[in-house]
Every structure is written in structure tokens, then in C-alpha cells.
Amino acid sequence: MSQPAGSAAAPTATAPALGSWSLLRSPAVAATAAAAGVDWICLDAQHGEHDDASVREVCTLLAGSGVAVLVRPPSNDAAWIGRALDAGAAGVVVPLVEDAREAAAAVAACHYPPRGRRSWGPLGGAYGRAVPSAREARARCAVMVETAGALERVEAIAAVDGLDEVFVGPFDLSLSLGREVGELVADPAPDAPLRRVVAACRRAGVTAGAFGVAPGHTRALLALGFTSVAFASDVSALGEGLARLRADAAQG
């Protein structure tokens, strides 16, 4: 078992990276999110509508915007990861990683030999973008801890060489633990599951990220020590924004 979160060193004071989760297969919607000032945007090809074509379109549209485009592939699949990076994604958020071996496989898929196993084939030149050399390429690799088994092995996962981030999916993790997601996020215990993830990331020197797209979750996750949080999705922003505007109009 890990040490309690309270035993970990205090994090360096830096501004959190707040991102948007993209479920809709619309480059225009993704560009609107980027223009709103988000730090990063993740295109969801696991549960969202994104595919090869939309990933290429969004990466081309947002090239040079300063907003990092990440992709969640459908699974920990080297071919899918390579295609996302070839399209110009800054990195990937790999779902349902269970142990250090699977995390190492995700890292290897993100890097060219001799560090990894990524095959050469970037598409940037086809869209008028400069393509970094294999030596210069630096893809960001985040892996998702979403199950009770992964939580038990989170220290080993976070310590994998070359890993950049452990990203928590609190909805799936709560299902696996048999708990309500709100209870999981609000758990104040020193050895609470989410505190354990943050502590493991601090010790390993990697980013602790999380999906916070629910009322109050982002603030709670930031308070726990997560430093990269998805605070909204395009679907939630559209639905909540329209509901609010309609309510305002009805009062008019």
C-alpha cells in the first residue's frame, strides 16, 4: 500500500492546466473551445464521436493556436496512438491502463526508436505543417487509472519511465470501487483513492490529471492536488449554456 497523501512533498505552486473534453465530431466546436482560452483540448475517440478524419481536421485547424490537442484513443492500441500522433496531436490520454506493463506499452507507442516503437509516418507535410524529426518529436503520454486494480498499482504505473501523466477517470473508478462518484471526489480521508493517486504522481514527478466535468468536481479535484483537469465538455457546455440562456430569456 502507498503512504498517505500527507506524507508526500508539497507540490510546486503552478497554475493548473484547465482543459476541455471534445465529444462532438466538429472541428468548429473544438476551435470555439480553443478560442475560449482553454489550456488543452482532448478529442475523445473512445466514448465520443471522433475518428481519424476529425482528429486530422482539428489538429490542422488548431495548429499554432497554442492549445495542446490531445486524443483519447479507443484503447491502448499502438496503431491508433500512432495515427493520432501522425495527425499532429500533442499527445494521448490512454484509457483503462491496468498496470505498469500496459503503461510502458503506451509510452513505447508514443516514441520513435530507440526509446519506443512508434513507426515513422507523420502527416503534417500533407497539411502544410512542419514535421519534427524523430529525434525532436516529443509526444505527451498520459494513462488513465479507472479501475480498482489500477488504483492498487498506481505507484508502479506512475513510476514508468517516460510517462508524463496519470489521468483519473472518476466515473469509471467509482463504478469499479462500488461508490458514488460524488462521494469519491469529496472523500476527505488522508488515504482516500484520489489522494493516493496524487501522492503517487508527486513521488514519481509526473502530472496528476483528472476528468472534472460535473458540478463542483473541478474545484474539488484541484483542492486535492490535481494540476490538470478537464473542467467542461462541449456537450455539457452547450447544454448548460443553452439552459441558462433560456432561463434568463424567460425571466425577461
Could you tell me the mean pLDDT of each successive run of 10 residues in the chain, 252 residues long?
40 80 97 96 98 95 95 98 96 98 98 96 80 91 98 98 97 97 95 98 98 94 97 96 94 79
CA pair distance 163, 143, nearest whole angstrom:
8
**C-alpha cell of residue 160:** 514508468
Report the pLDDT value the prediction gives residue 6, as an integer from 0 to 100.
Answer: 40
CB 110 within 8 A of CB 85: yes
Report the pLDDT value the prediction gives residue 131, as an integer from 0 to 100.
Answer: 86
Give bridge partners of residue 209 from the DSSP assignment: 167, 228
**C-alpha cell of residue 34:** 480553443
Annotated active-site residue 47? The verdict is yes
- 218-229 burial, b if ≥16 CB within 10 A, otherwise e? bebbbebbbbbb
Report the pLDDT value the prediction gives residue 175, as an integer from 0 to 100.
Answer: 98
Give the β-pairing of 17-22 and 40-44.
Answer: parallel
End-to-end C-alpha distance for the chain, whole angstroms: 57
Catalytic site residue from 47, 50, 111, 217: 47
Give the β-pairing of 68-72 and 40-44.
Answer: parallel
Report the pLDDT value the prediction gives residue 42, as an integer from 0 to 100.
Answer: 98
Distance of CA 92 to the CA centre of its chain: 7
Q: Where are the alpha helices (DSSP H) in the chain?
A: 27-35, 52-62, 78-86, 100-110, 148-152, 154-158, 170-177, 181-186, 193-204, 217-224, 234-251
The predicted model scores a pTM of 0.91
